[in-house]
Copies of this chain bind each other. A is one copy, B any other.
Amino acid sequence: MPRRTEIFGSVKIHELQRILKLDSGGFENPRAKDVSFEEIKDILRRLAIVIPVKDEKIHLLDGVLRAIPFDCSVIVVSNSERENHDIYKMEQDMITKFHELTQQEILCIHQKDPELGFAFYDTGYDYLLDKDDLVRDGKSEGMIIGMLLAKSLGKDFIGFADADNYIPGSVREYVMDYAAGFCMSESPYSMVRLHWRYKPKVVEDRLYFKKWGRVSETTNKFLNLLLSTSTGFETGVVITGNAGEHAMTIKLADIMSYSTGFSIEPYHFVYLFDEFGLKAEKISYPDAANEGIEIFQIETLNPHLHEEKGEEHIKNMLLGSLCTVYNSKLCNDYVRSKVLEELRDILDMWEKPKANIVMPPIGGIDASRFTKLLESNSETYVWFKQGTGIESELGEEDLKGESIRSV
């Protein structure tokens, strides 16, 4: 159970919760919440896990797929190379074999597929297209593609997992933690964000189990500062500002705006503060404001071990994250000066943080029309149905749960 919950307008942020037991026994405990396997399974069936991929090692992706519970659907959105080596083809081959063996429902598509760009154009959402009407590079853009595909599958929940995870068991836990969060939620507008217990780093030829990443610590500090200066009460409730591992109800996903670049995750908070916070000027989504938006922050039992990204990536992440704070409607001169101070080494003198590019809510897009366009025209789109072989050509027929096999 969270010890405390901070309420800011319609936004409820629960304090960190910890995983006491991966497979618990159903006993009551005033300090803990037991979530039964049946409840979790019910959520899993309504959950799609989106995996944005970009040239990650294929056996890492394979491990991640094996770890995602069968009841979830998996959506792989790849932006991997297709020119010199067709890495996407290798990914698709691996996924085909994986589906033959496990018969789990999987969708996959390539981000640069021209038909994908066309489907966005056709359904009136061109905010992520470049001048050639292709979808831009970027993880946020891939995530939006995944969300639309999840909607077309009729899912109620959507979660994200990275493809570069060395520990399949962690990925499984992430999915279970998402499901446990949704079991605890009382609002149809809710979000689960994971906090890694440890993030092991190699320090002088041994492993050091770091608790905090550098960027996370700073992002959280500034998100909390934004909240504190707005309410007048200091808080440290936000500890998952950069949580790449997060999940949302589709209802919430439909009304969110999404920042591009490296700031999609911290921008979740800034957007919710701006739109649903104490000082929001107009409420665009009265139903959500009324029901309240719940944010769960869960500390995983497993450590997170992934591919090391370079110094440049860390810099960009920090810059992107703090720009979202800088550009918040709630940001006052004091917070702005603090942001500039923090970014002194990154920004050139006098330069101001750029406005972040924001993609508006996807709730208005006709997801089934979107997917139908892909089904008819796309060459990279494949829909492996549950319990069947490749059935993407069959289109409408719902073979779910039947044990028809293509091999």
Binding site for B on A (CB under 8 A): 19-29, 31-32, 37, 63, 66-67, 69-71, 101-104, 166-170, 172-173, 200, 202-207, 209, 301-303, 305, 308, 386-387, 403, 405
Contact = CB atoms under 8 A, between A and B. Distances in A.
Contacts of A26: 70
A157 to B, nearest CB: 17
A308 B66 contact: no
Count this chain's copies in the assembly: 2
A167 B302 contact: yes
A-B complex: 8 closest residue pairs judged by Cβ atoms: A169-B169, A25-B70, A23-B69, A27-B103, A169-B302, A168-B301, A21-B102, A202-B205
A25 B301 contact: no
B205 A20 contact: no
Nearest to A102: B21
Central interface residue in A19, A27, A28, A67, by most chain B CB within 10 Å: A27
B205 A166 contact: no
A386 to B, nearest CB: 7
A102 B33 CA distance: 10
Contacts of A405: 27, 29
Contacts of A104: 21, 25
Nearest to A198: B166
Contacts of A24: 70, 102
Contact of A27 (B20, B67, B387): B387
Contacts of A103: 25, 27, 29
Nearest to A25: B70
A292 B177 CA distance: 42
A27 B301 contact: no
A203 B101 CA distance: 35
A25 B102 contact: yes
14 contacts: A21-B70, A22-B169, A23-B69, A25-B70, A26-B70, A27-B102, A32-B101, A166-B209, A169-B170, A169-B173, A200-B305, A202-B202, A206-B308, A305-B305
Contacts of A169: 22, 167-170, 172-173, 301-302
Given A25-B70, A104-B25, A302 B168 contact: yes
B172 A22 contact: yes
Nearest to A171: B169
Nearest to A197: B63
A403 B28 CA distance: 8
Contacts of A67: 22, 301
A401 to B, nearest CB: 9
A260 B78 CA distance: 52
A386 B25 contact: yes
Contacts of A70: 21, 23-26
A299 B188 CA distance: 41
Nearest to A70: B25
Contacts of A204: 205
